[in-house]
A and B are shown apart, each in its own frame.
Chain A
Amino acid sequence: MKRPQQPRWGERPPDRLEQRIVVARDGCVTARSGKVEYGQGIRTGFAHIVAEELNLPMTRVRIELGETASVPWDMGTFGSMSTAVDGASLRNAAAFARKQLVARAGDRLQVAADALAVRDGSVFAPDGRSLSFVELTAEEPLAGEVPDDAAGAVRRPPQDDRPERLEGLAIVTGAARYPADVRIAGMLYGHVLRPPSHRAALHALDTSVAETISGVVSLVRDGDFVGVVAERNDQAMAAVAALDARWVSHAAADGEPMDLALRRDRGVKTAFAGAAWRVSARYHMPHIAHAPIGPSAAVADVGDGRAEVYAATQRPFGLRDELAELLGIIPDRIAVHPQMMGGMYGRGNMNDAAIEAARLSRAVKRPVLVQWTREEEFRSGPDRPTLDADVEAALSGEGTIVGWRYRGRTNPHSYGWGGGSPQVAEMTAGRNMVPPYELGRMEALLRVEPGLIATGSFRSLGAALHVFAIESFMDEVAAAASADTIAFRLKHIVDPRLARVVETVRAMSGWRASTVAGRGRGVACTIYHGTYVAEVAEVSVGDGGRVRLERVWCAVDAGRLAHPDGARNQIEGGVQQAASWTLLEELPIENGEVIAATWRDYPIARFTDAPRSIDVAFTGEPDVPSTGIGEPGSVPTAAAIANAAFAATGVRRRELPLNRSPIGRRNATA
């Protein structure tokens, strides 16, 4: 089946108001976006934006996200772009709706539009007469192409800064529904046979024992895809365990390496040849796991020429189109219903559980729930690529960087590597590889090659990796130049917004050189998709060299904030998650197979590891357009922590994690 024509990466069809904003009969306004909520708080942020433009209480705004049958097409929820891009679209659409409502009220009340006031879901004339949004749209719904500049510049003061989340009540009462909580009449449970590694092919399969397991409804085989559907979850799991499969490893690589030059100035060689001195270092970051607390799950109900899928997906339209191709059903007859997600930071781009559920449902003609186990999630989920980076700087006699060379090696940061274009690789694997500094003549080269294990998108893509190498190295060069590491950065910064977050975090943290043995502070900064972040980390280093993160200060400029406390929560969470990557995480791999099966094999940060405080300050101006907040907080954290560990000990750590431990040691007694 031919895929429907879709806009390419970054392109969007013009917005239609009727797809965005609808006045419901109960007087509430429904606003629609193709983005999805997975804990980053965009539902709340979007509701703030629409409520603000229509001067409505938040309680009368409903936000519908990612439902493929009703929301405008969207490429996916990643790259920290929801508020920046779709928030701006919703603001425009709501402002356009307001203009239409005011114009209609003006006509009916015979009052000039600029004399009318909008509040509480009605348009008021100066004499007190009013028409509600419902009355104004009863005969003719809001419609039309939304002009790009409908909202104009926003100059209102920022929102109330208080904690709030529209899903909050459902979360604390347990009513929130994740894919595994979906119950449909006649629903069965499915499990899928997993190869030992992503390069294994099925050689032989004996199903005789599995078929005798009670409750088994069907064994489904379609090439190397083998699954079992049963009345109960544990029966399906037991049947898969009873399958006798023999695998052969195929050596074929998953595509050729790709060499990218993200920056190649003339005169790099000359800059190095004429340098007063040079510094170089090599950094390594291992594979880490997505490790969502909720393992992947999905429910699919596939019937004749139609399908409904309940999934935790960051790409509902991508999933719809993949299913259309797989099932031979036209996309309009497939409805993807995004559910709550259990901590998906790129993992939700993969859609594997949903596709498995659809294959099994098609075979048994009943709804099927596929719930991955923890072991499947560790062993068969895609993981974060590794990075090896060689960085070299040429310095002038005054201690200024005049030449910069960066050579990185990583794995694909997006799915479907076969179709990966250099442009996509640059935007994903190469993200943030060019430093945000003036460093004279610069060269930034990257080789992207398939890893031993399957890799894919992970929060901030290449950025967290490259920024670890770049910001660790800036610290090393500053130390080599006997300069204060913050002053050294400021000397090479030309962007005033970046300088401001660095100066802000210096002030917030009361920046000073380490004076207490075993304690140290480190700094790192970056610009991620237009958001400026600078962080200072304070660590203590105990006996045996174990690093503990004590405090973090973070200054962020993301322009106007749709919901300040939601933004703060995202930054705090980004720092905490990245601290876990940095201090603890490394996926154990043997012979191309991930051998982690439980949390004991893959420790992540716990309550007792959490820093004493994470202070966040926002320096953005309210009239500057919003930029993203979901990923930036996690990007500079690794370098800030590693630099702090150096300040505490005088020993430079260039490989992560900092607290490497043999498998199971940490949690052996848990």
Chain B
Amino acid sequence: MRTRLLINGRERAMELREGTSLLVALREDLGLTATRYGCGHGVCGACFVLVDGVPTAACVTAADQVDGKSIVTVEGLANGDELHPVQRAFLDEDAMQCGYCTGGMMISAVALLAREPHPSEDDVRKALDAHLCRCGVYGRAIRAILKAAR
């Protein structure tokens, strides 16, 4: 199955087997490992990417469904060496521990700030509620996202 994925502004044409998920295409075929496997059923948020700006669970999205759409992964958030304000804020607040869920959280935060530049704390909680964190950095992540919005 010939698939053309537009990932982080770069077109990648590849041969994928029928039913390959976007997560597997990213991790196994393209070596983009910042999008992480967490549950495989779309409820933990570790594999979120932006598809035409919409936060999407890559593990339950078939690669051929997003053929030709613009996909942004965590690797594509920074502009060269310049971090995205959300990345900067997560660093500045040390809004992370093990870091496994951090990428997915930042993807949803970027999408939230694009549609709502000045969210309330409750807006942030609702927008990020798809992301599970075992280390318990929710409070810091909320602070980081509100800071990135300033």
Contact = CB atoms under 8 A, between A and B. Distances in A.
B40 interface: yes
Nearest to B100: A342
A374 B34 CA distance: 18
Nearest to B106: A172
Contacts of A167: 99
Contact of B129 (A599, A607, A611): A607
Given A294-B46, A577-B135, A234 B24 contact: yes
B139 A614 contact: yes
Nearest to A598: B41
A546 interface: no
A340 B36 CA distance: 13
A293 B139 contact: no
A1 interface: no
Interface centre among A174, A181, A569, A605 (most CB of B within 10 A): A174
Contacts of B94: 163-165, 168, 565-566, 569
A173 B78 contact: yes
Contacts of B98: 38-39, 292-294, 340-344
Contact of A176 (B92, B99, B135, B138): B99
Interface string A628-670: 0000000000000000000000000000000000000001001
A632 B24 CA distance: 39
Interface string A567-591: 0011011111101100000000000
A575 B98 CA distance: 16
Given A39-B97, A577-B135, A599 B41 contact: yes
A409 interface: no
Given A174-B34, A342-B100, A610 B138 contact: yes
A293 B33 contact: no
Contact of A293 (B32, B35, B101): B101
A295 interface: yes
B43 A600 contact: yes
Contacts of A234: 24
Interface centre among B39, B93, B94, B136 (most CB of A within 10 A): B136
Interface string A273-300: 0000000000000000001111100000
A232 B28 contact: yes
Given A165-B96, A294-B46, A599-B43, A345 B139 contact: no
Contact of A613 (B24, B124, B139, B141): B139
B136 A171 contact: no
Interface residues of B, number: 55
B116 to A, nearest CB: 16
Contacts of B24: 233-234
Contacts of B41: 374, 598-600
Contacts of A233: 24, 28
Interface string B43-69: 110100000000000000000000000
Interface in A11-43: 38-41
B140 A572 contact: yes
Given A169-B91, A176-B99, A611 B139 contact: yes
Contacts of B133: 293, 343
Contacts of A172: 74, 83, 87, 90-91, 96, 102-103, 106
A140 to B, nearest CB: 39
B78 A171 contact: no
Interface string B87-131: 100111110111111110010000000000000000011101101
B74 A174 contact: yes
Contacts of A580: 136
A374 to B, nearest CB: 4
Contact of B97 (A169, A291, A569, A670): A569
Interface in A589-611: 598-600, 604-608, 610-611
Contacts of B92: 163
Interface string A148-166: 0000000000000001110
B100 A343 contact: yes
A321 B33 CA distance: 30
A167 B100 CA distance: 12
A7 to B, nearest CB: 29
A607 B38 contact: no
Contacts of A176: 99
Contacts of A371: 37
A178 interface: yes
A178 B100 contact: yes
A177 B132 contact: no
A460 to B, nearest CB: 14
Contacts of A181: 27, 33
A176 B139 CA distance: 22
Interface of A: 38-41, 163-165, 167-178, 180-181, 183, 232-234, 291-295, 340-345, 371, 373-374, 565-566, 569-570, 572-577, 579-580, 598-600, 604-608, 610-611, 613-614, 667, 670
25 contacts: A163-B91, A163-B92, A164-B94, A167-B99, A168-B90, A172-B87, A173-B74, A173-B77, A183-B33, A293-B134, A294-B98, A295-B38, A341-B100, A342-B134, A343-B135, A374-B39, A572-B137, A573-B97, A574-B136, A576-B135, A599-B41, A599-B44, A607-B125, A607-B126, A610-B139
Interface of B: 24, 27-28, 31-41, 43-44, 46, 73-75, 77-78, 83, 87, 90-94, 96-103, 106, 124-126, 128-129, 131-142
Given A173-B87, A174-B74, A293-B44, 15 more contacts: A165-B96, A167-B99, A171-B90, A171-B99, A172-B102, A173-B75, A174-B75, A180-B37, A233-B24, A293-B46, A294-B36, A294-B100, A606-B132, A610-B125, A611-B139
